[in-house]
Structure 1
């Protein structure tokens, strides 16, 4: 299949900063007047409604298909979500990413779906998804252009939000490419203002539209203080936010994909203190599927994402999903850890260069504990009950959520001979 040659900021493992990655877009036409930050207008946006009490789940085309998407691809994957039972397990939001629109706006300034890729238009696509019991997600950008150089929303926030509401969109992912910084204003001020404008525009439609903010991904390399500041206001203007680099694309080698999963896990695991129930850190897509990764690797990503209360958004070809990938994505016990009503992101309790242990309190008093071997050789991993934050008890019941095996422990939580790139995920009950 064809692949877009244009790299996306935060979407490669080349180590480019977000500023450098989107600098080419700043050579576009002069910024509209609305590009100048207005702090009062940003504050007026207020706190976005809590439309995602649990981490969102669903499917997005980007990592697997990139710009090679069309109406049939989207609807075929949507039907596959229903047919495989994944929709019934929570994977219900189907989001089309960049490249869905025409290169120019219409005569009234409106966004126009690519007539070849989407001959029936976006309202039709939304109707078809809703008839399947699914939700409709769409992509835009707060800058002058999207990452792939399609029309951005800067200067059109109200009109675009109204258009999305008219199409019955349920979820908007807003990227941050090609954002011109006005003289005398900082990059952070500019992003805060533009995302605040889009947030307010979506609220003003009166339609409940879950809002995914990409702003923090453009500040990951600017230093922790400003990065964390951007995450802080992202939690006010939206429901979830992309924190840093994207996971690797389908065209990447399995080794690069695995490296990207580990990288995203490591940065996101350190952000647990910035997440709160209903406001989610998003370390990007799940790669379970025909991606060249091993069963252990796709299971590790699923288990670690569940421990971090991350959105579970698959980006693969669901129409040709292997039995092992379907089993990983559809494991109800692992999904329950991710979707737990307490809404807490698991925190790191110990780590070294080749392993990490996370603990996550659950609503019913249980604790989920993940022991992750990121190294190249099998090893035994363990953590004490005290270090994992378990309440004192004479013993603990351990339910291994992937194999289903049940054991007991009088103290330490141990996973023996954990294979390379594997994660053992326990649900631990005192008693």
Structure 2
């Protein structure tokens, strides 16, 4: 069925019948129309006036979350392609496709079920209840099946009173929900930030920090290693860089990766919208390199390779640019219908190696104008990855130099094209002739 996207900061939402009422979720600081939990029954950090308790919670949060993602996470998430049209079969079929195509062996090992997986009401003991029509065998069954395939189990929740799709959020239930996820065998939690109440006298940034700290502490208290994906910065993208960057800074302490801004486009949207979304997310995330560090990852959202309307050059550009940014490589498409081209793009081991390089450095833009961008990323053994991105609508030559890319002075340089496999030599010029419209040439460069 067709779904309309509603623009918003934290998540791009469609007007599915189940989620149509959620278009106001951009500024999740106000409570939802339905009743919120009594703040006194929520975890203490979310209440107003208890300064001593908040101070103690902040001291506990000063210890960073365990480093559970030494390299950028890789895997699959249903949201961009399926949205709320999700069920047990869709999840497990895509998991089997990861294994069958060989993508799992290349690192795509985490399968995450996004919003709309649960019933609209909690159970009699306050527990989260899976939607019985969508997941008749329950979420522990999903975890067991994924683990049996050698994959990891990811799940979605929200730190507010309700998820973006108006399902029960974890606000007031952080400890109980975390323990439930651990019992189900969850390995990865994506925590959104819709419908976060703002108690009197608290700023939006303060309350978001407190609830994400509570979620972080609850996960760690389970004793199960659960990679934590934080969505908080996405809700501050337009609040000014100083606030946005401050939110990213504490997100890097409470979790392992964080969504920085606007959602990537949806499958149902036009090819032009998809491409514009890829470029937009690349540009905002490329500017955050100074806020990333090894093991703590900026996340510009999903890979769209395999979606309708994107050509080979566009899919390749997103994959290459995400690898240059050390971004999580999380596919969101129907993996059972991957074209040979999409499979090649997602499975390119040399580009995956750039993304997963042990140095864990995000590449930086070294030259840019309206029609092209040049990025350089340090790799182990003194090598550099250099991306020459033509964002324009006609072919063009894009170039830089070894010195500009940060390579040491040498008599010559070896350039390996990571898409074609061709190897060339240079005295210092790094050039890509006739880069196609929306195309990217990605070199691994070695001083000789």
TM-score, structure 1 as length reference: 0.96
Contact kept in structure 2, 1:4 and 1:66, CA below 8 Å: no
RMSD (CA atoms): 1.8
**Residue 300 (1) aligns with residue 300 (2):** no
Q: Which runs of 4+ in 1 moved over 2 A?
A: 1-14, 17-28, 34-40
Between 302-311 and 33-42, the greater mean CA deviation after superposition: 33-42
**C-alpha distance in 2 between matches for 1:57 and 1:30:** 35
Q: Partner residue of 2:131? A: 114
**C-alpha distance in 2 between matches for 1:290 and 1:50:** 32
Q: Partner residue of 2:10? A: 10
Mapping 1:83-102, distance limit 5 Å? 83-102=100-119
Superimposed CA distance per residue, residues 364-412 of structure 1 (whole angstroms, 9 cap, x where no aligned partner): 2110000000011111111122111111001100000001111111011
**C-alpha distance in 1 between matches for 2:6 and 2:242:** 30
The structure 2 residue matched to 1:27, chosen from 30, 33, 58, is 33
The structure 2 residue matched to 1:167, chosen from 181, 184, 187, is 184
**Residue 336 (1) aligns with residue 342 (2):** no
Q: Partner residue of 2:47? A: 36
Q: Partner residue of 2:230? A: 213
Mapping 1:408-427, distance limit 5 Å? 408-427=425-444
Quote how far apart the aligned CAs of 1:317 are.
0.2
Contact kept in structure 2, 1:349 and 1:388, CA below 8 Å: yes
Q: Structure 1 residues 427, 231: CA separation in 2 closer, same or farther (over 3 Å shift)?
A: same
Q: Partner residue of 2:207? A: 190
SS at match of 1:234: helix
**Residue 242 (1) aligns with residue 271 (2):** no
**C-alpha distance in 1 between matches for 2:5 and 2:323:** 33
Uncovered stretches (5+) of structure 2, i.e. residues with no partner:
15-22, 49-53
Quote how far apart the aligned CAs of 1:44 are.
1.4
Quote how far apart the aligned CAs of 1:286 are.
0.1
TM-score, structure 2 as length reference: 0.93
Q: Partner residue of 2:147? A: 130
Q: Structure 1 residues 248, 6: CA separation in 2 closer, same or farther (over 3 Å shift)?
A: closer
Uncovered stretches (5+) of structure 1, i.e. residues with no partner:
none
Quote how far apart the aligned CAs of 1:26 are.
3.2
Mapping 1:241-280, distance limit 5 Å? 241-280=258-297
SS at match of 1:88: helix
Q: Structure 1 residues 47, 420: CA separation in 2 closer, same or farther (over 3 Å shift)?
A: same
Contact kept in structure 1, 2:305 and 2:342, CA below 8 Å: yes
